[in-house]
Structure 1
Amino acid sequence: MIAAIDVGSNTVRMLLGEVDDGKVVPHRYEREITRLKGGQTGEGLAPEAMERTFSALKRFAVIASEEGAARLRAVGTEALRTASNGAEFVDMVRREADLEIEIIDGLEEAGLSAAGVLSALDPVPKNAIIIDIGGGSTEIILVCQGNVAFRHSCPLGVVQIAEMGSNRNWQAFITDQTSRIGQLIQQKQIADIVKDSETLFVGNAGTVTTLAAIDLEMATYDWRRVNNYVMSREMIEEIMLNLQRLSTVERENIMGIEKGRGDLIIPGISVLQAMMKMMDKESLVISDFGLLEGVLLQLA
């Protein structure tokens, strides 16, 4: 048994499992929305956010020990990379929870995420553009024949967007950032391959897996049903229109939406729709696997 922990901007997740013939075999999955990036200021991560996240990590460390994990790797991403007190938080977790967190750079995160995503797809595409909409940022990864050909991180994180307040403000922000990404893709001379109908458009992380769970009316989340699930732009638009009519509390009463995601799902879908439009994609293939599974593959 091996274990991976992802300390994200919105959610802390842990996967315990094995790797068999290059495939991840999950044994136990734990997750908790802690909003580590929530309320972040120039002073760094908010004390309340750090306390919530520390509590989850301490619990996860105990579970990993009880499950007999032979090896464990915990990684921190955008929230810890950019926070002025990120290293301070990592030190506290090391001292008080006996858990070592590695703050990984964007290039390593992209490689691990891509490996995890691709391990879930059947068949594995020759080329894929992967969109990972996180709490603090959105990662865009172009994979060609199994290798990361391009990666870009932009500040389209759902927690950050949700805390902007006005719908008009964050819609303008999404439009501006998406336009910048489009220009970058043109500059890198990869627009043709990105927009090619044979290049699979793949999404992972909470926004897209929640879309699948809503469409499948999941009372209990099942990653097996989510992996390789396909949704059209029309299906996504219909769900979006239905959610926009509801309050945050009402959204969280819908089958498939977990508590703590009610105010994040609309910004997340907005980012996804903007990306699909900019890249001329008519459908989305969803992968539940990502960074955690990539870490397990590396540990095996």
Structure 2
Amino acid sequence: MKVAVVDIGSNAIRSTFYGIDQIHGDEILMKKLSYLRLPIRLGEDVFKDGKISLSKVSKVLSMAHAFKHLCMIHEVTDYRLVATSAMREAENGQELIDLVKSQIEVEIELISGDEEAEMIFESIFLCDQVDSKGSYMTIDVGGGSTEITFLNKGERCEAKSFRLGSVRCKNDVNQKEWKKFQVWVNQNALKYKPQKAIGTGGNINKMHRLCGYRSKPLPLKEFQEKVAYLKQFTYQELIEEEKLKTDRADVIIPASKIYLEAMIQAGVESIIVPKVGLAEGVARKLFRTHLEKQDLF
């Protein structure tokens, strides 16, 4: 059995194909068969002009067309295309969804910040650094929004989505939203007392690697020091000297500021980076649904 997921984010579009490696009891261990990241930055248009430009509409149509053919080649059982912040906010977002459905016969689903956090939660406890009996704060920073969730003893206690993201905050930060974010995190941290943060998203994955960590939690102090170091470089220098991708170099620092602020407000000293995200959660849910239908789960 194979499934495929397209994560249509504000900073990039990612297509991932999965198979099942093993099934242990009620837990599915997946294997990644193929991954393609397309630097189609929808948030660049939407957060500036309120709508997706014609050139990017064309690119999304091409992506959907190619994805449909890849699904045939991989012989997938099921797939989902999920869109987050930028597509939700775009004036012509629904028009684009309708266009993709009529021309390519592929359906894009708009999901809320809460649904996004729930899907990510699906994969969090597979990381051997996360104790199902512990207390944590998860931070998922996307291009257009940030989802914060407080977990306690394996349960989601509080979750909230904020209009703060790497692309949205690249040039300017909405101070009113920033204050709401600070206050909410601080209040809930006092209530749930998280031991560590759990970070998901492409920027924290990259920062984790840049700091020289493979699986261990990243200490707050080292995270802060690496951000301070990177801030010395121009955009071009980050690409040439630090070998960052062109669509990563201009957003990694704005994204890092959000992770760091959440950690500071929550009083946590390190962040676990399990290298899972929205796509893994969506894929796991697809597998679970089909296995339950076959009475194999």
Aligned to 1:81: 88
Q: What amino acid is the match of 1:155?
A: R
* CA root-mean-square deviation: 2.2
Match status 1:201 vs 2:197: yes
Q: Which string of whole-angstrom CA distances, capped at 9 and with x for unpartnered residues, describes residues 229-287 of structure 1?
A: 42112211221122111111211234563231111111111111111111111111112
Q: Which string of whole-angstrom CA distances, capped at 9 and with x for unpartnered residues, describes residues 10-53 of structure 1?
A: 11112211243222222222211211111225552222333333
Aligned to 1:9: 10
Q: Which string of whole-angstrom CA distances, capped at 9 and with x for unpartnered residues, describes residues 160-211 of structure 1?
A: 11143xxxxx3xx46x544322433566xx3334434x3x310010110110
C-alpha displacement at 1:294, in angstroms?
A: 0.6
Aligned to 2:295: none
> Match of 1:252, SS?
helix
Aligned to 1:155: 163
Map 1:34-53 to 2 at 5 A: 34-40=40-46, 41=48, 43-53=50-60
C-alpha displacement at 1:54, in angstroms?
A: 3.3
Map 1:192-231 to 2 at 5 A: 192-196=190-194, 198=195, 200-216=196-212, 226=214, 228-231=215-218
In structure 2, the CA distance between the partners of 1:259 and 1:59, relative to structure 1 (3 Å rule), is farther
> Match of 1:289, SS?
coil
Match status 1:282 vs 2:269: yes
Partner Cα separation in structure 1 for residue 245 and residue 124 of structure 2: 22
Aligned to 2:291: none
In structure 2, the CA distance between the partners of 1:107 and 1:247, relative to structure 1 (3 Å rule), is same
List, as ranges, runs of 4+ consecutive aligned residues in structure 1 with deviation greater than 6 Å. Answer: none
Map 1:89-108 to 2 at 5 A: 89-108=96-115
* Among candidates 73, 88, 93, match of residue 66 of structure 1: 73
In structure 2, the CA distance between the partners of 1:109 and 1:274, relative to structure 1 (3 Å rule), is same
Match status 1:30 vs 2:36: yes
Q: Is the 8 A contact 1:8 1:78 kept in 2?
A: yes
Map 1:248-267 to 2 at 5 A: 248-255=235-242, 257-267=244-254
What is the TM-score normalised by the length of structure 2?
0.85
Instruction: Work out the percentage of aligned pairs sharing the same amino acid.
Output: 24
Aligned to 1:270: 257
What is the TM-score normalised by the length of structure 1?
0.84
Aligned to 2:181: 181
* Among candidates 127, 130, 144, match of residue 136 of structure 1: 144
C-alpha displacement at 1:120, in angstroms?
A: 3.4
Q: What amino acid is the match of 1:260?
A: D
Q: Is the 8 A contact 1:116 1:290 kept in 2?
A: yes
Q: Is the 8 A contact 2:219 2:270 kept in 1?
A: yes
Partner Cα separation in structure 2 for residue 49 and residue 88 of structure 1: 13
Aligned to 1:220: none
Aligned to 1:221: none
Q: Is the 8 A contact 2:138 2:149 kept in 1?
A: yes
In structure 2, the CA distance between the partners of 1:37 and 1:69, relative to structure 1 (3 Å rule), is same
Q: Please, which runs of 5 or more residues in structure 2 have no aligned partner?
A: 288-297
Partner Cα separation in structure 2 for residue 207 and residue 194 of structure 1: 26
Partner Cα separation in structure 2 for residue 133 and residue 239 of structure 1: 18
Greater relative contact order, per chain length (Cα 8 Å cut-off, separation 6+)? 1
Q: Please, which runs of 5 or more residues in structure 1 have no aligned partner?
A: 165-169, 217-224
C-alpha displacement at 1:123, in angstroms?
A: 4.2
